[in-house]
Amino acid sequence: MILEAPVLRRTTSATAAPLVSPPGSGILHLGLGSFHRAHQAVYTAAALRAAGGDWGIVGVASRSRSIVDAMHAQDFLYSVATIAPGTTSLTIPGVHTDAFVGGEQPERVVAQIADPGIRVVSLTVTENGYSYSPATQHLDLDDSTVRADLRGGAPRSAIGQLARGLQERADRGGAPISILSCDNLAANGAHTEKLVREFLLELPGSEGADALAFLDRAVSFPSSMVDRIVPATTPELRARVSSLLGARDDIPVPAEPFTMWAIEDRFAGGRPAWEAGGAVFTNEVGRYEQMKVRLLNGTHSLIAYLGALSGAGTIPEAVGIDAIESAARAVLRTEYEPSIVVPSGVDIRAYESELFERWGNSALGHRTSQVGTDGSVKLRQRIPEPALLALRRGEMPHLIALTVAGYLSCIAPLPGFDPGVHAAAMTDGARERLTGYAASARNGRELAERVIGELQLFGDGLGSQDAFIARVGELIDTIRRAGARAAIADAVSASQTTTSSLTSAEELQP
């Protein structure tokens, strides 16, 4: 029986195939979640098999004691289950050399960053983990954790830990190091560097001066774009993986077959041979970011909110609804694609086709509630610029407006409207505040005005676009009155009319 099987360890029969054995730890990773374990760790395993090196990973979980305990119990081993219809294949990266909880040992995070043996610090702490103000794009000095970190003591914010760790590293002589963000933020390397510098500049007197000089001399902040769909682990997956292994794995990670990593090749202290796992080193990371954040993530959000409102618990169920698929194809092609510059060598039609194959992977079970979570932060990265570009061209981005209407209908429904269990399962740091706005709003227009205009949840650019705000309000009212499918039909039809009009106008030009 599975429960009687031995725990996955380096000595169990399940690991008879050769495992990576890093001779040392050259990487500190902040954010020991499923995505990191199914993405960066897999690329690092391939790099070590191909070229060796002391690139073992010390993993830092922000709060999750259960993951850290399981990593220790399993000799830092776990399975990545690559799932497609009709097949599940397992790999064991085996690249982690240690793991601990940063929230319990913040002083150790600082010490590890200062350790000259660590040459790369990578991060997957989510957009929320960077302690910046979405409105200003600067370090959020009103954040209580940031304020405490600036006063001294063991820092608890990721930016505070990076800054204090680099401070201590500079004091020790300043061995070169790279800080590699792997989160969905535009120009994430430059963004992280700006926040670290702002933290150091806020320190009293000349306290941060040596660290700032060290940053100029020996620290790089390369940008990167990461892409792989990694759903939540379920008890059913644990049982299936343990059965396939013949050993009990308490922390397997499910993932889709597709994976992509585009990286700016600026590493002050060296790096693993990640290209051995398929990573692309490029000076076009920004183009890859736009393509992923808008075409994949932006469309994914629309599918999640409309799916949840339509009773679909998973992304494959949602995209399997004809109306939602039509809306997804329309927003991708007519509203997001015009806002990007395609990276060199990428076939955009093939990329689009692959996106729908990925979303339709019924074996993966990616939940609409998971994709829809934290929309207040995610959508701000995905929708403002494409929407504003369309509005400047004189076009109404009806499907982006529908995305926002779907989000607000899920997270802050108007009185009397029940968005369903899948919307209720979404978590969002802004939910309480937005729910308060919705409770006193008489209609969708009032809710949209308060959230987009007054609160400027999606930035001041969209906050001043009255026509866009009105369109979002109309679609919220349609969702409440007639349901998500009626709102989809309205937005898709309006989008097609706009596209037809533009095409006709272009054909008439000499």
Residue 505's pLDDT band (cuts 50, 70, 90): very low
Residues 347 and 207 in one domain: no
Same domain, 76 and 152: yes
Task: Judge if 52 and 145 occupy the same domain.
Answer: yes
Q: Given 245, 263, 281, which residue is the final one in a domain?
A: 281
**The pLDDT value given to residue 1:** 37
CA distance 424 to 401: 21
Q: Same domain, yes or no, for 289 and 415? A: yes
Domain co-membership, 242 together with 313: no
Do residues 137 and 41 share a domain?
A: yes
Identify the pLDDT of residue 509: 42
pLDDT in tens, 50-85: 999 999 999 999 988 999 999 999 999 999 999 999
292 and 273 fall within a common domain: no
Under a CB-based contact definition with an 8 Å cutoff, are residues 102 and 30 in contact? yes
| Domain count for the chain | 2
Task: Calculate mean pLDDT across residues 483-503.
Answer: 83
- pLDDT of 19 strictly over 90: no
* Pair 161, 120 in one domain: yes
Boundary of a domain, candidates 265, 281, 297:
281
**Of 498, 495, 473, 477, nearest to 486 (Cα)?**
477
Whether 336 and 348 share a structural domain: yes
pLDDT at residue 446 above 50? Answer: yes
Residue 497's pLDDT is 83
Domain-terminating residue out of 249, 281, 313: 281
Let me know whether 311 and 274 are in one domain. no
Same domain for 200 and 310, yes or no, is no
Tens-digit pLDDT profile for residues 317-339 = 999 999 999 999 999 999 999 99
Give the closest residue to 88 by CA, choosing from 301, 274, 280, 252: 252
Helix, strand or coil, per DSSP, at residue 59: strand
Q: What is the mean pLDDT of residues 15-31?
A: 86
β-bridge mates for residue 82, sequence order: 89, 255
**Could you read off the pLDDT of 456-485 as tens digits, one per residue?**
999 999 999 999 999 999 999 999 999 999
CB contact at 8 A, 397 and 468: yes
Can you tell me whether residue 88 is helix, strand or coil? strand
What's the pLDDT at 17? 61
From the list 297, 349, 304, the residue with the least C-alpha distance to 324 is 304
The partner residues of 123 in beta bridges, in order of sequence, read: 30, 181
Q: What is the pLDDT of residue 63?
A: 86
Any idea what the CATH number is for the domain that residue 142 is in? Answer: 3.40.50.720
Q: Supply the DSSP string of 406-469, one letter for each residue.
A: HHHHHHSPPTT----HHHHT---TTHHHHHHHHHT-SSHHHHHIIIIIIS-TT-HHHHT-HHHH
Q: Helix, strand or coil for residue 224?
A: strand
204 and 135 in a common domain: yes
- Provide the β-strand partners of residue 315: none
The CATH number assigned to the domain holding 459 equals 1.10.1040.10
DSSP single-letter state for residue 131 = -
Q: 0.85 cut: is pTM over it? A: yes
Please tell me the predicted confidence (pLDDT) of residue 15: 64
* Token duo for residue 313: 């618990």
Which residue(s) pair with 7 in the sheet? 248
Does 506 score more than 80 pLDDT? no
Structural domain for 84, as ranges: 2-281
